[in-house]
Structure 1
Amino acid sequence: MNQESVDIGARLDRIDRLLAQIAGELAGAATHAIFVDAGYLYAAAGRLVTGTEDRKGFELDAQGLIDALVDCASHVFPHSRLLRVYWYDGARRRIHTAEQQSIAELPDVKVRLGNLNANNQQKGVDSLIRGDLESLARHRAIGDAVLLGGDEDLVPAVEAAQDFGARVHLWGIEAPEGLRNQADPLLWEVDTQRTLDLAFLKPYAARRTVVTFDDAVVPRPTWDDVHFVGKRVAATWYSTKGPETLAALLPGPYLPGPVDQDLLIEAEALLQYSLRAQPDLRRALRDGFWEHVRTLFPTPDSAPEAGPRG
């Protein structure tokens, strides 16, 4: 073998080693992201684990479930790193509820909010998912996308990501009685499918404890009593949840459904009396809440609105 052949062989060896290095670096740079349609998650998990799709009827350990999803993805994509978890939900006027705020504060989690209409239906969530999926795939930020959802409207999002070379993996939640809770066109379009069963989800969802009060023992509180409790809850939330949470509710007087529910539950616990069938007392509660909030964030037109007394 002459020297020229030796030199060529050495150069080929170096090229092979360089290609192997590049392949290794590319493999090490593989990235995935998890996209969660919270509306689907709550409805499907609630029905499977607790028998109800009503969010008010059960509690979801979102942080624990997100950790479990991340861990599951790490086993499915062992040579890939997580970019982040995208959590899509709806909220009145796109104002974070306390629960959504706590989820947004988790590491590697991005909360995106669509709107809620008068029937508590999400609006704009599918377009948010499509925008993120398409953008991340187009910029080669991810190679694999885990999509936890079931709506047929997500098909364009899947197609957009696939057009830029990303693989989309649809994860769903087991439906009771063998029924389906994911649209067939969505199942047909994705690259792979996985079902999260009852054993996976059971640790993270539980029926909400219903507290009952004996109205025969505890007398009906006065309007002033409930009004004071409303102010007290506002003061407590200012200290525990932070001023930003209360400021986000302004200008009022509307309270998002989940916030109004939290206010009611906390007030009933303090009063030891059910306000569920007491519209005048619930008005007193909200009036007291808003009166204190507006003293914390005064504006020229923030004079409290007087409510009925009884």
Structure 2
Amino acid sequence: MNDAPAPGPPDLAAVAAGIEQTNELLQRVLAKVSTTPSIHAVFADAGYVYAAMGRLVAGTEDRRAFDLDAEGLIEAFIDKARTIFPDSRLLRVYWYDGARRRLHTTEQQRIAELPDVKVRLGNLNANNQQKGVDSLIRTDLETLARHRAISDAVLVGGDEDLVSAVEAAQGYGARVHLWGIEALGGRNQADPLLWEVDSQRTFDLDFCKPYVTRRPLLYEAYGEGASAAGAAAAGPRPGREDVRFVGARIAAQWLVERGRETLAELLPGHPYLPGATDQELLVEAEGLLQHSLRGHADLRRALRDGFWDHLQAQF
């Protein structure tokens, strides 16, 4: 026979105190989560970008037949992502390309010098085909998602091999958004990739046109060894201070033509300009300088510096 006393009534005060303590802890956790900024990153397969934009705008995938304003395009990607994720911060843009023995070309060096851009190189085989790029994308995407370094990933590409990268990132809670280039008369992105991602966006011909320039005369006259550097050598290269002055001059002109309120709206985006505005600045500067600034990252930065310097002095 068990003579142990029956358990007494629960201590309601202690239970209430425990519930209150738990609620306070939950409130602190939720407050911390709500104030933690979202972070996004852009993962761009340069091989896909060159091939798709070259085919759409210049009618060819051969990189030697056209120039791609990679700096301007990357700025446009950053601007578009800022619009889509207004409450998120950019981690960086990853630019994946191929190179023989993984040695940067001059163009890749210029891209690598851009702020918030990381160039990652795979190998380039004898047939100019990229090798190892998909695995680099998967590694970066999965690692950042696993460590909760990003909440949203923008993937610019179309290869079916990227499906596993998307699945891995999603498994760690990241959302993956697929961006592509318009394909005339078909698709240039694998169906399984389109099915797997969280959202899709396609850039059309009007968006792509400003960033692709076909070089028919140079390419046809001098053959496959011709380059954009040969075309640029036709005229004297302006100095950084000259370009900076032109940037300030254009800003002053725009203030008169467009009004202070319009340009004041650009200030919160410093040091970035919206893609359309950046292209207008570039085209107008090239007209004044009578020299192409495409492919000259240092001069493009000098142009923007001059533009921003004048604007910030006025506000």
TM-score, normalised relative to structure 1:
0.64
Does the 8 Å CA contact 2:69/2:212 hold for their aligned counterparts?
A: yes
Q: After superposition, where does 1:152-231 map in structure 2 within 5 Å?
A: 152-177=160-185, 179-211=186-218
1:149 corresponds, among 147, 150, 157, to 157
Taking the aligned partners of 1:167 and 1:189, their CA distance within structure 2 comes to: 11
Does the 8 Å CA contact 2:70/2:111 hold for their aligned counterparts?
A: yes
TM-superposed deviation, 1:174? 0.6
Unaligned runs of 5+ in 2: 1-12, 236-315
The amino acid of 1:21's aligned partner reads A
2:89 corresponds, among 73, 77, 81, to 81
* CA deviation string 1:238-284 (max 9, x = no partner): xxxxxxxxxxxxxxxxxxxx9x6449947x979xxxxxxxxxxxxxx
Distance 1:79 1:213, change over 3 A: closer
Taking the aligned partners of 1:122 and 1:214, their CA distance within structure 2 comes to: 28
Taking the aligned partners of 1:17 and 1:115, their CA distance within structure 2 comes to: 50
TM-superposed deviation, 1:15? 6.4
Backbone CA RMSD of aligned residues: 3.0
The amino acid of 1:172's aligned partner reads G
TM-superposed deviation, 1:17? 6.2
Does the 8 Å CA contact 2:64/2:219 hold for their aligned counterparts?
A: no
Taking the aligned partners of 1:31 and 1:130, their CA distance within structure 2 comes to: 18
* CA deviation string 1:165-203 (max 9, x = no partner): 1111111111113x1000011111111111111121111
Taking the aligned partners of 1:142 and 1:264, their CA distance within structure 2 comes to: 38
SS in 2 for 1:180: coil
Taking the aligned partners of 2:219 and 2:100, their CA distance within structure 1 comes to: 29
TM-superposed deviation, 1:212? 8.7
* Alignment match, 1:24: 34
Taking the aligned partners of 2:229 and 2:66, their CA distance within structure 1 comes to: 16
Distance 1:209 1:261, change over 3 A: closer
Distance 1:53 1:214, change over 3 A: closer
Alignment pair present for 1:122 and 2:130: yes
Taking the aligned partners of 1:25 and 1:12, their CA distance within structure 2 comes to: 20
* Alignment match, 2:105: 97
Taking the aligned partners of 1:213 and 1:114, their CA distance within structure 2 comes to: 30
Distance 1:119 1:141, change over 3 A: same
Taking the aligned partners of 2:34 and 2:229, their CA distance within structure 1 comes to: 57
Distance 1:141 1:206, change over 3 A: same
SS in 2 for 1:168: strand
* CA deviation string 1:199-245 (max 9, x = no partner): 21111111125249999xxxxxxxxxxxxxxxxxxxxxxxxxxxxxx
TM-score, normalised relative to structure 2:
0.63
2:71 corresponds, among 63, 88, 92, to 63
Larger RCO of the pair (alpha carbons < 8 Å, separation 6+): 2
* Alignment match, 1:133: 141
1:51 corresponds, among 59, 65, 84, to 59
SS in 2 for 1:210: helix
Taking the aligned partners of 1:199 and 1:32, their CA distance within structure 2 comes to: 26
After the TM superposition, which of the residue ranges 159-168 and 204-213 deviates more from structure 2?
A: 204-213
Distance 1:42 1:85, change over 3 A: same
* Alignment match, 2:255: none
Taking the aligned partners of 1:122 and 1:95, their CA distance within structure 2 comes to: 13
Unaligned runs of 5+ in 1: 216-257, 271-310
Q: Number of aligned pairs?
A: 219
Distance 1:118 1:269, change over 3 A: farther
The amino acid of 1:161's aligned partner reads A
Distance 1:13 1:129, change over 3 A: closer
Distance 1:140 1:17, change over 3 A: closer
Distance 1:165 1:264, change over 3 A: closer
TM-superposed deviation, 1:18? 3.7
